[in-house]
Amino acid sequence: MKALTINFFSPAENSPAIAKPSKAAKPVKVALTGYISSTGKLTLPAKTVANLGINLDETLFKVGMDQGKRKAKSLYLVPSEGDEQAFGFEKAAKSYTLALPFILTRSGIDFSKNKYAFTIRLFEYEGKTAFALQLAAEAAEASALYTGKPRGRKPKSEQVAD
| 106 half-sphere exposure, CB direction, 13 A CA radius | 7
Question: Which pLDDT does position 147 carry in this prediction?
Answer: 82
Question: Which pLDDT does position 37 carry in this prediction?
Answer: 84
pTM of this structure: 0.63
Is 74 in contact with 65 (CB distance < 8 Å)? Answer: yes
> Residue length, the chain?
162
Question: Which pLDDT does position 8 carry in this prediction?
Answer: 63
Three-point CA angle 10, 11, 13, nearest 5°: 70
Question: Which pLDDT does position 134 carry in this prediction?
Answer: 83
CA distance 7 to 9: 7
* Burial track 50-65 (b if 16+ CB lie within 10 A, e otherwise): eebeeebeeebbebeb
Question: Which pLDDT does position 125 carry in this prediction?
Answer: 79
90: phi then psi, degrees, rounded to nearest 5 = -110, 140
Q: Hey, how many other C-beta atoms are within 10 angstroms of the C-beta on 13?
A: 8
Collapsing DSSP to helix, strand or coil, 88 comes out as strand
Question: Which pLDDT does position 20 carry in this prediction?
Answer: 61
Question: Which pLDDT does position 27 carry in this prediction?
Answer: 56
Residue 101: Cβ-neighbour burial (10 angstroms; 0-12, 13-18, 19+): middle
Please, what are the averages of pLDDT over each run of 10 residues along the chain (162 residues)? 64 65 61 82 84 80 79 81 77 85 81 83 81 77 76 76 56
Q: Which of 87, 99, 97 is nearest to 62 (CA)?
A: 87
Q: Hey, how many other C-beta atoms are within 10 angstroms of the C-beta on 45?
A: 15
Question: Which pLDDT does position 29 carry in this prediction?
Answer: 66
Domain segments of the chain as ranges = 55-137
